[in-house]
Structure 1
Amino acid sequence: MATTTPEHDKRVADLTFSSVYPHYVTKVEKKGRTVEELHTVIEWLTGFNETTLNTLIEEKVTFKTFFERAKLNANAHLIKGVICGYRIEDITTPLTKQARYLDKLIDELARGRKMEKILRS
């Protein structure tokens, strides 16, 4: 697996959460999961409840700002595997790694993984 490039890391940092969020919703709903489950997963990782999430979406924050404001779960380091062609454990840029944690959790949710496994409890 390749490590991320500075250009890739900048693209991740500059993405707005509001532009990606509808894709998360579509992905999980298409697989029979709910927006509530999506929010549970996001809150587990970031500490953001639904109200805060809606505010961040309205503010059109970038992923950089999104993760600067997040209180990352202490067990986030347990999220491992390959997502978007990158092995999470090998990503050295903290922001890109955090964004891939979120992608991986949403991917697991869409694949029907049990919530307690997704939440690394």
Structure 2
Amino acid sequence: MKKPRIYTMSFASVYPLYIQKAEKKDRTKAEVDEIIFWLTGYDEASLQQVLDQEIDFETFFAQAPAMNPNASLITGVICGYRVEEIEDKVMQQVRYLDKLIDELAKGKTMEKILRK
């Protein structure tokens, strides 16, 4: 079976779109980064390496230093799918990130977004 296109897209090509989506709603790049750090365990330096090397989404999540154990608390619908019901692990991780960025753009507090 052919992998979904998102798997082979570079994270660096989508990252500016996450920032743009947040900034349109008066949120910041720092908040987008905080979400990415919380979900994946990347830090500023390792995220910059990912962006510089144009690593694809599949590798981005496979090499994530530490997926947050609270990621399973992320629920809801994104792109017509309930994130908690997605069986493909990588696709679920992609959708987790999409969902968190959506929540940021919708004005939720960082405390709620980061499931504290």
Q: Normalised by the size of structure 2, how large is the TM-score?
A: 0.94
Higher relative contact order (CA 8 A, sep 6+): 1
How far the C-alpha of 1:100 sits from its partner, in A, is: 0.3
CA distance in 2, matches of 1:89, 1:75: 12
Q: How does 1:2-81 map to 2 (within 5 A)?
A: 7=2, 9-70=3-64, 71-81=66-76
The unaligned stretches of length 5 or more in structure 1 are 1-5
Among candidates 70, 78, 84, match of residue 83 of structure 1: 78
Query: Which runs of structure 1 show a deviation greater than 3 angstroms over 4 or more consecutive aligned residues?
Result: none
How far the C-alpha of 1:65 sits from its partner, in A, is: 0.6
Q: Normalised by the size of structure 1, how large is the TM-score?
A: 0.91
Task: Report sequence identity in percent.
Answer: 51
The unaligned stretches of length 5 or more in structure 2 are none
Aligned partner of residue 72 in structure 1, secondary structure: coil
CA distance in 2, matches of 1:54, 1:44: 15
Deviations 1:4-26 (A, max 9, x none): xx55x521211110110010010
